Structure formats: C-alpha cells, structure tokens
Amino acid sequence: MGSMATTLELIDLRSFSNLWFWIALAVVWSSASHWVLGVPFDLVLRAHRRGGSVEEDLRDLIRINVNRMLYIADAAGEIAVGVMSFLLTVLAILGFFYWVEFAQALLLIGLPLTIVWILSVRTARKIALAPQTTAELYLRLRRLRFVIQVIGMLSVLTTSFWGMYVNASVGVLGG
C-alpha cells in the first residue's frame, strides 16, 4: 500500500508541490535557451569556431527557420495573437481569481514563453530584412539567447517564489 501512496504523490496535479512540474519547468527553459530560432546553439558555437561547411549549414538552417517563423507569423499571426491572448487571460482568471493552482502554473510558464516567441519573431524579421554578415548573425543569435536566458531565469525565480508562497499557504490553511 505504501508504493501506491508514493505513486499517487508523483502524479498529483497540485503543480507547485509536484516534482514533475519542476522538472518540466527546467526542461522548458533549458530547451528554450538551447534552440534559438529553431537552431541548436551548439551548432552556432561549432560554426563560429570551425566555419566552412558547418557555417553554411548554420546559415541554411537559420534561413529555413526564419522563413518558416515569418510565414507562420504572417499567415496566422492575428489568429495566434487572439488565441494566445484568450488562453493567457483564461489562465490568469482561473489561476488568480478562482485560485486554480494548475492554471497558475501554466500561466507562469506560458506568459514568458509568449514573450520569447515575440522576441524570436522580431529577430527573425530583422534577419530577413537585411543581409547579415556572419559576425552580425552570431551576435544577433547570442543576444537573443542571452535575453531568453534572462527571461528564463526571471521566470524560474518568479515561479519558485510563487510556488513557495502557495505551498506555505496550503500548509497553513490545511489544503
């Protein structure tokens, strides 16, 4: 019977007291900072060091992903903004008016990721509008990655503090 209780604790939907939520949060921000404009950042570093065919591959991959992002933004941008605004608003209302912890957790992940998406589309537009030298391209990708990492750190910090507050409140209030 003890293993059944442990199993049920692992799949508990109370987000901030659930280990799986924190693992998912770490994976989300690790992935977001690794895949800049859909390009793995280790490829950016390798292309910067080696040049040649690796650099050509990087340029091709960036071109493909920039065109893909801009196509999606141009073709469905208004719809995507409307849907995301609706979803984030619903999560905010459910989370902070009705105090649904799962909605709070999703909002604390979704809102910063929306900002990252907007910054990525903006960077893709800048790359598409003007031809980039290799040095400019590396600089633009490094800056975007740095901003994504800062947003991720602030998001994890905010989520951690909010999670501690929620867990302390649940502990005081008794569930």
Residue whose C-alpha is closest to residue 42's, from 133, 123, 117, 145: 145
Residue whose C-alpha is closest to residue 116's, from 138, 84, 91: 84
User: What is the identity of the amino acid at 157?
Assistant: L
Q: Which residue do the tokens 């999606």 mark?
A: 72
**Of how many residues is the chain composed?**
175
State both tokens at 113: 């990721």
Kindly list the domain boundaries of the chain, sorted by start residue.
40-161
Residue 131 is predicted with a pLDDT of 83
Distance CA 24, CA 49 (A): 32
Under DSSP, is residue 62 helix (H, G, I), strand (E, B) or coil?
Answer: helix
Q: Which residue do the tokens 């992903």 mark?
A: 65
The stretches in the chain having pLDDT less than 50 are none
Residue 62 is predicted with a pLDDT of 96
* Stated pTM of the model: 0.87
Distance CA 163, CA 65 (A): 35
Residue 14 is predicted with a pLDDT of 75
What are the Cα distances from residue 170, in Å, to 6, 99, 174? 20, 12, 6
For the stretch 91-136, pLDDT in tens is: 999 999 999 999 999 999 999 999 999 999 999 999 999 888 888 9
Distance CA 69, CA 13 (A): 33
